[in-house]
Amino acid sequence: MSSPLRISIPKANLATATRLADLGRQTFSETFAATNTPADMAAYLATAYSPELQLAQLQDPAATYLLAEMQGQAVGYALLAQHSTLGLAPEANARQLEIKQLYIVEDWIGTGLGKALMRRALDIAQADNCTAVVLGVWEHNERAKAFYQRFGFREVGEMEFKLGDDVQRDLIYRKGLAGRAG
Ligand SMILES: CC(C)(COP(=O)(O)OP(=O)(O)OC[C@H]1O[C@@H](n2cnc3c(N)ncnc32)[C@H](O)[C@@H]1OP(=O)(O)O)[C@@H](O)C(=O)NCCC(=O)NCCS
């Protein structure tokens, strides 16, 4: 029997953008509402998710959305960006894919969807001849850090992340693609 999980690169239209905005708002809230003030959350959500913003990302040739669906229901997504300079010295000449966002709907966490999206992202990076995949993760997001480490990501730096008025510390994780595992 074929798997009920479908991972696709969604079409760039307003209906998809609205769906991704709702999914992004929902999963970001599920992940971070408990550890931030309602005011900071509201300020961040307003700047990060709207049909117009997600439509612009869908239309950006340097960005790729991966949408995970189970029987037509959106259960997770990843947002990838080509040509990332995250964690690189200015003179470095590497080709890096960045996982800008990777979120699974709360009820589906721990069921293998994160792994499936990560594998698809690594396939895309490899097909694009990238030398590494990079991402930023909040320093206290232990579940995500453990997940990335299992794929061979290692900390290579840090950066600021502004959530509303709160300036937080994100770790930069990198995985070289030679001898890929996971
Ligand atoms: C981080 C996240 C994407 C991982 O996806 P997931 O679907 O829960 O993970 P999976 O079920 O695919 O697990 C994949 C592997 O990671 C392991 N894993 C998952 N959570 C883990 C944890 N908390 N600690 C250690 N390992 C973990 C699983 O055991 C599995 O390994 P295995 O196949 O060898 O058993 C998901 O938990 C999530 O969306 N979290 C909320 C949003 C978030 O924090 N996103 C990251 C922002 S930077």
Each domain of the chain, given as residue ranges in start order, spans 5-176
- Contacts of residue 138, defined as CB under 8 A and 6 or more positions apart, other chains included, come to 32, 144, 161, 168, 169, 170, 171
Give me the count of residues in the chain: 182
CA of 77 to the centre of ligand 1 (A): 13
Quick: pLDDT tens for 114-164. 999 999 999 999 999 999 999 999 999 999 999 999 999 999 999 999 999
* Overall pTM > 0.85: yes
Determine which helix (DSSP H) or strand (DSSP E) holds 148, and give its type and residue range: helix 142-150
- Which CATH number applies to 5-176: 3.40.630.30, 3.40.50.10490, 3.30.70.1350, 3.30.70.330? 3.40.630.30
Strands (E), the chain: 5-8, 63-70, 73-81, 96-104, 132-138, 154-163, 166-176
Ligand 1 pocket mutation pick from 115, 118, 163 by most atoms within 8 angstroms of CB: 115
Q: Rounded CA gap, 72 and 7, in Å?
A: 11
- CB distance 123 to 159 below 8 Å: no
Q: pLDDT for 77-91, tens place per residue? A: 999 999 999 999 878
- Strand ranges (DSSP E) for 105-142? 132-138
